[in-house]
Amino acid sequence: MEMKSITTPSPIMVLGTSSGAGKSLMAAALCRVLLRSGESPLPFKGQNMSNNAWVDKSGGEMAYSQALQAWAAGIEPTCAMNPVLLKPQGDSTSEVIHLGRSVGFAKAETYYEQWFDSGWKAICNGLNQLRDTSDQGRFVLEGAGSPVEINLMDRDLTNLRLAKYLNARCLLVADIERGGVFAQIIGTLALLNPIEKSLIKGILINRFRGRRELLEDAQKWIESKTGIPVLGIMPWLNEDFPPEDSLDLLERKHIKSSADVQIAVIKLKSISNFSDFDPLEAEESVQVRWVKPGSDLGRPDAVVIPGSKQTIKDLEILFSSGLAQEIKAFADNGGNVFGLCGGMQILGSTLVDHSGKESFEGRSTSKVIKGLDLLPIHTVFNSQKILNRRIVRSYWPEVTDLTGFELHRGISQPLSQCDQILKPLSEDPSLGWFVESNKSSKIVGTYLHGIFDNGPWRRLWLNELRRGKGLADLPINRPNHFQQRDRLLDLLADSFEHYVRFKGFIGE
């Protein structure tokens, strides 16, 4: 598959010495910095593995990290920016998304044999689609994991193959926070052949804490040893930037002294769309505590069950760990519980998976599976995936506008005998419901991802929790979270401009 000819400006690529080195945020920083300089950056990651997804305007599915980079670049996210998305669902199996559409399921051991050619075709098509949107746009490419996984290098779709194909100027990012940064850098470069190594135009040390002068001699040593300039040392940033993967959620352990409401978010094994909770993390009055199955639920002011790539699998884990029983007891004693997408399905009375897409280890079953029975709804899974951007008006807690997106398998419906107690959350009843009990607990569920991004609605929901504690209401005239996210991207770019000598690196 040929890509249309690429002229200047030169593509740039962010590679990492490992997963979680900070590639996604450094690529986002470059997008914002280039935008500030008058360029038209085009973020692109050929292949991503993530259950943290976004739905573009065409109803295409893409990784959230590329959507974030698009916002940093000042453009609308499109699935062409992430033409191959792998969504892990356990048992070494992933759903395969090409240019926004599900095209099948792949086992790890046969993925490259079965999907390499079609994946590369999707990548080239994505590049061409982006090039059509901006003739003078500059590709800002993000690699995946490490570019020198010896067992994968000959089949790698999105690191050195793409860098060589586009003759990209590569920045190698290493994370000093996790230790071994010098071995990471030297070892990565040692495993590159001469042509590949010639593409590395700069090194960046990320997440440094402490006095910068302590690294001056080490920086000179790296440059002498590799012949490649260290372009900068990015400090540890205290802001809550969106995590690159679900493992990063566990590192968010700081305590907010100003928080007076605690929300326990269940850290499901197959959690998806964890970026839904960035707006709650950004609320100064809210302490978000991530609770893994097997951990103590504690005494939060609300429990939130997030989306899941394997809803029935995660439901079984909740029951086997005892956390399901704790959540039910919490609700029975007047606690507030919120379910988002798969979390709403878990809150329901029953679930049936005819397609086998949501079952434990992929086993197909038509058996009725019992949910937490906190929300009187019944969910039936099928093979069709629902992908829609939505604008609706909420009925609860008050009438207000909502924006977000649907990304789910399965249709949920109220149990017929519960029509009187189950109330629609919005003008579209299929998007979710709520129940208010005599013990003041409120059980709420919705399919609308991004619901907490809506500033007024988020504050209305938080005020429901605050009143239960006798606290004063917060102002509801809050902007939507995209403004807070944009401020964080500006702070990230400010730091990048201050600490990284990038102008010579990006070339013409």
pTM score:
0.93
Whether the pLDDT of residue 361 is over 70: the answer is no
Catalytic residue chosen out of the listed positions 98, 378, 408, 449: 449
pLDDT of residue 347: 98
Please state, for a pLDDT cut of 90, what percent of the chain lies above it: 82
Q: How far apart are CA 128 and CA 116, in angstroms?
A: 19
Please provide the distance, in angstroms rounded to a whole number, between the alpha carbons at the two ends of the chain: 27
> Would you say 29 and 492 are in contact if contact means Cβ atoms under 8 Å apart?
yes
Same fold, 12-236 and 246-484: yes
Helix (H) or strand (E) holding 434: strand 432-436
449 labelled catalytic: yes
Catalytic residue chosen out of the listed positions 31, 124, 341, 481: 341
pLDDT of residue 360: 47
Its sign, for the CA torsion 446, 450, 455, 458, is positive
Instruction: Write the DSSP assignment of 442-502 as a string of letters.
Output: EEEEE--BTGGG-HHHHHHHHHHHHHHTTPPPPP--PPPHHHHHHHHHHHHHHHHHHHB--
Inter-axis angle of helices 23-36 and 481-499, nearest 10: 90
* Domain 12-236 bears CATH identifier 3.40.50.300: yes
- Per the rule left: phi > 0, alpha: psi between -120 and 50, beta: everything else, 198 is alpha
Whether the pLDDT of residue 314 is over 50: the answer is yes
DSSP state of 5: P
Q: For residue 394, how many other CB atoms are within 10 A of its CB? A: 24
At 40, is the pLDDT very low, low, confident or very high (cuts 50, 70, 90)?
very high
User: Bigger pLDDT: 244 or 183?
Assistant: 183
At a CB cut-off of 8 Å and minimum separation 6, what does 231 contact?
171, 202, 203, 204, 500, 501, 502, 505
Tell me what the mean pLDDT of segment 287-304 comes to.
97
At 7, is the pLDDT very low, low, confident or very high (cuts 50, 70, 90)?
low
At 4, is the pLDDT very low, low, confident or very high (cuts 50, 70, 90)?
low
Tokens of 116: 């390499």
Q: How far apart are CA 86 and CA 144, in angstroms?
A: 12
Q: How far apart are CA 289 and CA 360, in angstroms?
A: 27
Whether the pLDDT of residue 412 is over 60: the answer is yes
378 labelled catalytic: no
Q: Which of 310, 272, 267, 274 has its CA nearest to residue 93? A: 310
Domain boundaries, given as residue ranges, for the chain: 12-236, 246-484
How far, in Å, are 47, 162, 401, 404 from residue 14 at the CA level?
A: 14, 12, 38, 30
Whether the pLDDT of residue 264 is over 80: the answer is yes
Task: Look at the block and give the residue holding tokens 């470069």.
Answer: 189
Instruction: Write the DSSP assignment of 86-98 as a string of letters.
Output: EEE-STTEEEEEE
Q: How far apart are CA 307 and CA 273, in angstroms?
A: 6
Q: How far apart are CA 52 and CA 82, in angstroms?
A: 13
Residue type for position 128? N
Whether the pLDDT of residue 416 is over 90: the answer is no
Tell me which of 3.30.910.10, 3.20.20.80, 3.40.50.880, 3.90.1150.10 is the CATH number of domain 246-484.
3.40.50.880
At 248, is the pLDDT very low, low, confident or very high (cuts 50, 70, 90)?
low
pLDDT of residue 247: 47
Please state, for a pLDDT cut of 70, what percent of the chain lies above it: 92
Tell me what the mean pLDDT of segment 471-486 comes to.
94
pLDDT of residue 456: 97
Whether the pLDDT of residue 386 is over 50: the answer is yes
DSSP state of 176: S
pLDDT of residue 308: 96
Residue type for position 202? G
Q: How far apart are CA 389 and CA 59, in angstroms?
A: 7
